[in-house]
A and B are shown apart, each in its own frame.
Chain A
Amino acid sequence: MIDGEKNLIERAKNGESQAFGILYDAYQPQIYRFVYIKVSHKEEAEDITHQVFLNAWRKIDEYDERGFPFSSWLYRIARNQVIDHYRAKKEVVEIDILEETELELDIVEEADTKIATEKLMALIGKLSPVEQDVLILRFVEEKTHEEVGKAVGKTPLAVRLIQHRAIKRLKNILEKNGR
């Protein structure tokens, strides 16, 4: 949460674009990052991020801060926007039937040293959408289990379980490629 956030949101709700501009500056990089890691495409991530903030600006009257951080609200809009994006592109992929060969085989060696950003993103892309969300929010954005839960609509305990499962799956994918 940024300083004076509650006040900024109230001012934005009253139509003060400058106040929303401050919220935009504070949250746009992390929303972009979240979207970019999920879609792995710069221009698409930009379009989606733009749409997220456009929707947030238009619907800010609907935001109710009671027990729900503003960032979680933005992540929810972003998640829905990414879903819409894939729906529009008709690229909903059955994660489990993806060919393992899509991963480059040298990724295992790199896992012990440094996995290139693109390869790491491709790896994350093999996970289910909610596993992706949890890993990005927990380890890239360093949100608490509770914050992640609010953003993805799960309890903190469920977030822990998803996180555990996601890490295990990532390791399995790497090990399979290492054989």
Chain B
Amino acid sequence: MEDKLIQQLKTLRGIYPDRDFSAKSRGAVLSERRKFRETKSELHGLALFAKRQLILSLAGSAVLIAGLVFGISYFGQIFTRSNAVARANQINDSIQVKLDEIRYFIENETPIDVQTAIRLNVLLSEAKKNLEQAASSLKEQEVNEFLTKIRSSQEILMKMNDDLNGK
């Protein structure tokens, strides 16, 4: 009986899908993937664009920081507290290090999706804005405002760095 049962099971091999169904299903499956891949490649293009923007903004921020370092030495006499210059230079150094790290991660290590690239661009714009305002404060000799602004930039860049490190 067992052998006959197995022989009967083998007869089920004669089951085949309907040709019309197979043709329609095949076409639908393959066209679905095409749409999916196009969307994927569009997203990839967007991510690349956002990434390039990010690298450009990082370069802009680095120039701003270099200007601030020069400004601190030029307007150094406005820092009446003895440790203020040292503190400002320390924050600027930290900002430069963070900018370098972020740039390294973006260029070499981390694959970035569109959402991340956009979020990082927003954060970097905020950091840049703070640096620009810090530069204005320096010119207007508003030390506290200057320190507040560069500290804010430093915090934003640290957050970006953590984002890229997956923290």
Compute how far the CA of A103 lies from the CA of B56 in the bound complex, rounded to whole angstroms.
Answer: 74
Contact B17 A29 (CB under 8 A): yes
Q: Does A50 contact B (CB under 8 A)?
A: yes
Cβ–Cβ < 8 Å partners of A37 in chain B: 12, 15
> Chain B, 97-111, contact with A by CB distance < 8 Å: what is the 0/1 string?
000000000000000
Q: Pick the 8 closest A-B CB pairs, nearest first.
A: A139-B9, A32-B17, A17-B30, A50-B25, A57-B33, A140-B12, A33-B15, A53-B29
Give A4-33 interface residues, CB cut-off 8 Å to B.
15, 17, 20-21, 24-25, 28-29, 32-33
Report B's interface with A, CB cutoff 8 A.
1-2, 4-6, 8-18, 21-22, 25-26, 28-30, 32-34, 36-37
Cβ–Cβ < 8 Å partners of B26 in chain A: 21, 24-25, 28, 53
Cβ–Cβ < 8 Å partners of B28 in chain A: 50, 54
Cβ–Cβ < 8 Å partners of A54 in chain B: 28-29, 32
Contact B15 A36 (CB under 8 A): yes
Contact A33 B9 (CB under 8 A): no
Cβ–Cβ < 8 Å partners of A112 in chain B: 1, 4
Main SS of the interface on chain B? Answer: helix
Contact A135-B9, Cβ < 8 Å, known A54-B29, A58-B32? yes
Contact A20 B12 (CB under 8 A): no
Contact A33-B2, Cβ < 8 Å, known A53-B25, A140-B9? no
